[in-house]
């Protein structure tokens, strides 16, 4: 099947996938979903990396994350939720001072925001059959001030996250 030998008896490839992070493990095929995905040459994988296109006054950059990197990001965010939850509990436990109670409330809000972000990324990834996600950010370099349009530094003005 293209770039590597396949063992019918084992139901997997005999060689490691030549595309780094081209699949969820080094020996499977099409992210273990041959009904929905195919890789006839054995050399394709989902996109991973950054692509940018910039004009004189506007542009866009896209950061593609493979499924492996998407899972790492979500797991890291959940680790942050756990850490901020501990800080919230410690702050709330030291409610002897108003500062301790306020710090506990702030860390609780941070934990809630992080958990909402992790859940949103996980749902977006699941909607795309767990093939990874991408972040797209749009930039502008012109601004209206005084009497007309002027070039400024590159400033992000919009963006979104979606699945691959």
Q: State the pLDDT at residue 73.
A: 87
Measured distance CA(147)–CA(133) in Å, rounded: 42
pLDDT, tens only, 54-78 = 888 888 888 888 788 888 888 888 8
pLDDT at 7 > cutoff 60: yes
pLDDT, tens only, 134-157 = 888 998 888 777 788 888 888 888
Does the CA dihedral 150-153-159-164 come out positive or negative?
Answer: positive
Q: State the pLDDT at residue 113.
A: 84
Query: Looking at residue 111, what DSSP letter applies?
Result: H
Q: Which of 73, 80, 84 is nearest to 109 (CA)?
A: 84
Contact 48, 69 (CB under 8 A): yes
Q: State the pLDDT at residue 154.
A: 84
Structure tokens at 15: 């060689």
pTM: 0.56
pLDDT at 18 > cutoff 70: no
Task: Find the radius of gyration of the CA atoms of the chain.
Answer: 22
Alpha helices, DSSP H, located in 6-48: none
How many Cβ atoms from other residues are within 10 Å of residue 2's Cβ?
A: 12
| Residues 91, 97, 98: CA angle, nearest 5 degrees | 85
Q: State the pLDDT at residue 8.
A: 72
């Amino acid at each position: 099947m293209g770039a590597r030998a396949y063992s019918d008896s084992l139901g997997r490839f005999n060689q490691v996938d030549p595309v780094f992070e081209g699949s969820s493990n080094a020996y499977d095929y099409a992210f273990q979903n041959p009904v929905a995905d195919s890789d006839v040459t054995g050399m394709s994988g989902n996109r991973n990396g950054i692509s940018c296109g910039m004009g004189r006054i506007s542009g866009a950059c896209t950061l593609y994350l493979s499924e492996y990197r998407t899972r790492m990001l979500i797991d890291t965010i959940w680790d942050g939720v756990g850490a901020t939850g501990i800080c919230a509990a410690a702050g709330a436990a030291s409610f002897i001072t108003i500062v301790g109670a306020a710090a506990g409330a702030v860390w609780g809000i941070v934990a809630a925001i992080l958990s909402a972000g992790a859940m949103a990324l996980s749902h977006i990834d699941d909607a795309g059959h767990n093939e990874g996600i991408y972040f797209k950010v749009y930039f502008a370099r012109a601004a209206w001030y005084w009497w007309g349009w002027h070039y400024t530094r590159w400033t992000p003005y919009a963006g979104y996250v979606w699945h691959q």
